[in-house]
Amino acid sequence: MSTSTTTTDLVETKKSGGLTAAASNYIDERTSISTAVKELGRKIFPDHWSFLLGEVALYSFVIILLSGSFLTFFFSAAMTPVEYDGSFVPLKGVEMSAAMSSSLDISFDIRGGLLMRQVHHWAALLFVAAIGLHMLRIYFTGAFRKPRELNWVIGFILFILAMAEGFTGYSLPDDLLSGNGLRIIDGMVKGIPLVGTWISYLLFGGEFPGEAIVGRLYSLHILLLPAIIVALIAMHLLFVVVHKHTQYPGAGRTNQNVVGYPVLPVYAAKAGGFFFIVFGVVMLMASLFTINPIWNYGPYDPSPVSAGTQPDWYIGFADGALRLIPPGLEFVWLDHTFSFNILIPLVALGLFILVVLIYPFIEAWVTGDKREHHILDRPRNAPTRTAIGAAGVTFYAALWATASSDIIATHFKVTMEGVIHTMQFLTLVGPFIAFFIAKRVCLALQKKDREIVLHGYESGRIVRLPGGEYIEVHQPIDEYERWKLVSYSDYKPLMLRPNAQGKITTGQKLRAGMSRWFFEDRIEPVGTTELERSHGDHH
């Protein structure tokens, strides 16, 4: 919303010369950067706290790159055995890998080294968490709908890559905990039919643990994975620019406009400032709270392990899935071992990931809606989608909590078996309960919205009528608030009709069934007729 006078002023200052103008002119004549400024400088971004989640993810990635680059200057990705001779007295003289020894040096002999290690680790934990919450925001508001389905896929791949980055980084110090993590990976890989033994053998460069794995994970961690992540983030953001940001329903906002603040100056200040706030918070955590104290664990040794071991939080769901398997699911058949105690978790998690990945396409197929959607749904206005999301979150949460089954058991003084059996129940049945509750809550909230639109909100003012009757006065809401409650898309179940050949295909039957499941319970938005009628009742 620039005024034309300021623009002309700017141009005139440029003409009048000065260092900035000369520099701008120099660069523009070689890069055409004025085009980019013209296109992007006043680009509008809508404002909402939930849009910050993706920013947190982006910023923590930048923090990870900065702190990680510092760490690479000191870290030695070799598993050659050395005798530790650093400042940490309890481990002096202990044989360990060069990787572990250099990690200890970063922590105890380099000023600010521990700080950077902790910044790196805290930022990594925040990175995955922020991506996860950002994805939930996208899901529950329907921001994955056309034209953003592909960006959902890119974002989801980024989520997987972030976990891979986390796991490879976690394994690098070659301490007892990370070594046990790798041992579990080795065991899982070996459980894969046909190729598992060989994959493990090649991955570890021979028998577990070998002397190769840290160097290999290091290549992945600092070169291959970051390169892919940077490329995908660039695509992800490019699509945000191409599509323009979604916005929540609000008065004056339509599917054809974007309402908000321009990049220059307001977004530059707010988003740029937010980067420093995120960085500052991570820095504060790193200065006050210890994370991953590898010196307490000691170097990796295949024999010892401490009770209550936990992976970093984002690997918890996979670890929990392993714990939930009941005994006895492994068979020898045709002279080969089939480890269903490993295959079931792998396949179940693979399917879960696949469903999340392709959900936008499933929903698009069910609704048949090929229009672009730029106004976000309030979660209550898509009850079945919200309920599916609640079921998915419950499934994930149950697996995740199971990764702490031993800690739950010791902390609350309950039996290990009891915890596992409870979690088995919650993993399988919990999602259905969550689906049912979430759907009913959505429908109830939609009904409440209708009620408020038609009859106003409870004002809290109690009036005694002449006849002695007490009533609470309901105040009508203004038209701007009302718009948020009535402007949503409502779908109804697909009606099966024969196609041009007079046939009803199986695909159509399936789609009709899904459509019925999605939309049979629905609350229509209030229309003007109903609104006027209700006003007539009251006045």
Partner 1 sequence: MAKDDNSGKDLAAADSSGVGQEGAPAGTVVVVRDAVANPGFPPHRPRVTDVQPSAERRAERTVYTLFYLSIVGSVFAIAAYMAFPIIPEDPGSVRTNNLFIGLGLSLALMAIGIGAVHWGKALMYDHEGIDERHPVRGSEDTRARAVEIFQEAGEESGIGRRTLIRNSLIGALIAFPLPAVVLFRGLGPQDDNPAALLSHTMWKKGTRLALDPTGTPIKASDITLGSAFHVIPEGLQDLEHGKLEEKAKAAVLLMRLKPEDLNELPERAGWSYDGIVAYSKICTHVGCPVALYEQQTHHLLCPCHQSQFDVSNHCEVIFGPAKRPLPQLPIAVDSEGYLIAQSDFTEPVGPSFWERN
Q: Name which of residues 343 to 362 contact partner 1 (CB under 8 A).
A: none
- Between CA 24 and CA 29 the distance in angstroms is 8
CB of 426 to partner 1, least distance (A): 16
Looking from the CA of 119 toward its CB, the CA atoms found within 13 Å total 26
In DSSP terms, which residues pair with 333 in a beta bridge?
A: 336
CB of 383 to partner 1, least distance (A): 15
The Cα 117–Cα 449 span in angstroms is 50
Helix/strand/coil for 239: helix
- Name which position in 24, 50, 341, 422 contacts partner 1 (CB under 8 A): 341
Q: Is 139 exposed, middle or buried (0-12, 13-18, 19+ CB in 10 A)?
A: buried
Beta-ladder partners of 83: 95
Instruction: Assess 337 for contact with partner 1 (CB under 8 A).
Output: yes
Strand partners, 186: none
Tell me the three state secondary structure of residue 211: coil
Q: Does 297 bind partner 1 (CB under 8 A)?
A: no
CA distance 326 to 315: 21
Beta-bridged to residue 338, according to DSSP, are 331
**Looking at beta carbons only, is 305 or 353 nearer to partner 1?**
305
Shortest CB 201 distance to partner 1, Å:
4
CB 233 within 8 A of CB 155: no
Q: Which amino acid is at 157?
A: I
Among 266, 291, 349, 357, binds partner 1 (CB under 8 A): 266
72 is a site residue for partner 1 (CB under 8 A): no
Q: Which of 102, 367, 386, 404 binds partner 1 (CB under 8 A)?
A: 367
From 22-30, 32-40, 226-234, 276-284, give the range in contact with partner 1 by CB under 8 A: 276-284
Sole binder of partner 1 in the list 328, 466, 467, 502 (CB under 8 A) = 328
Residue from 34, 197, 424, 534 binding partner 1 (CB under 8 A): 197
For the bound state, the minimum distance from the C-beta of residue 518 to partner 1, rounded and expressed in Å, comes to: 9
Asked if residue 294 binds partner 1 (CB under 8 A), the reply is no
How many residues comprise the chain?
A: 539
Interface stretch with partner 1, choices 21-29, 219-227, 229-237, 256-264 (CB under 8 A): 256-264
Is 130 a binding residue for partner 1 by CB under 8 A? The answer is: no
DSSP state string for 191-249: TSTTTHHHHHHHHTTSSSSTTTHHHHHHHIIIIIHHHHHHHHHHHHHHHHHHH---B--
Is 304 a binder of partner 1 (CB under 8 A)? yes
- By C-beta, is 41 or 226 nearer to partner 1? 41
Tell me: does residue 5 bind partner 1 (CB under 8 A). no
Please, what is the end-to-end C-alpha distance for the chain in angstroms? 42
By C-beta, is 307 or 465 nearer to partner 1?
307
Q: Determine contact, residues 403/320, Cβ cutoff 8 Å.
A: yes
Q: How far is CA 89 from CA 83, 94, 105, 176, 372, in A?
A: 13, 10, 12, 18, 63
Pattern 208-247, binding to partner 1, x per CB under 8 A?
Answer: xxx-x---x-------------------------xxx---
Select from 114, 222, 408, 438 the one that contacts partner 1 (CB under 8 A). Answer: 114
Residue 444 in the binding site for partner 1 (CB under 8 A): no
Least gap, CB of 25 to partner 1 (angstroms): 27
Non-local CB neighbours of 249 within 8 Å, separated by 6+ positions: 375, 376, 378, 483, 484, 487, 488
Binders of partner 1: how many residues, by CB under 8 A? 151
Select the span of 26-34, 161-169, 198-206, 218-226 touching partner 1 (CB under 8 A): 198-206
Q: Helix, strand, or coil here: 524? A: coil
- Nearer of residues 25 and 487 to partner 1, judged by Cβ: 487
Phi, psi of 303 (to 5 degrees): -95, -50
Q: Point out which span in 128-136, 163-171, 333-341, 422-430 binds partner 1 (CB under 8 A).
A: 333-341
Assess 261 for contact with partner 1 (CB under 8 A). Answer: yes
Q: Which of 14, 34, 41, 42 binds partner 1 (CB under 8 A)?
A: 42
Closest listed residue to residue 405, CA positions, set 322, 303, 343: 322
Q: Where in 453-512 is the site for partner 1 (CB under 8 A)? A: 479-480, 482-483, 486-495, 497, 499, 508
Which residues, numbered 94-113, are part of the site for partner 1 (CB under 8 A)? 107-112
Q: Which stretch binds partner 1 (CB under 8 A): 32-40, 135-143, 201-209, 427-435?
A: 201-209
Helical H segments across 97-195, by residue range: 98-108, 113-140, 149-171, 176-190
Q: How far is the CB of 468 from partner 1 (least distance, A)?
A: 38
Q: Using an 8 Å Cβ cutoff, are 74 and 105 in contact?
A: yes
Site for partner 1 in 399-418 (CB under 8 A): 405-406, 416-417
Considering the complex, what minimum distance in angstroms separates the CB of residue 44 from partner 1? 4
Region of 462 on the Ramachandran plot (φ > 0 left; ψ -120 to 50 alpha; else beta): beta
Q: Which stretch binds partner 1 (CB under 8 A): 24-32, 114-122, 165-173, 222-230?
A: 114-122
Report CA torsion sign: 214, 220, 226, 229: negative
HSE (CB half, 13 Å, CA atoms) of 328? 1
CB of 331 to partner 1, least distance (A): 8
* Under rule CB under 8 A, residue 196 binds partner 1: yes
Q: Does 537 bind partner 1 (CB under 8 A)?
A: no
Confirm or reject binding of residue 298 to partner 1 (CB under 8 A): no
**Binder among 13, 69, 255, 459 for partner 1 (CB under 8 A):** 255
Q: Are strands 336-339 and 44-45 parallel, antiparallel or unpaired?
A: unpaired
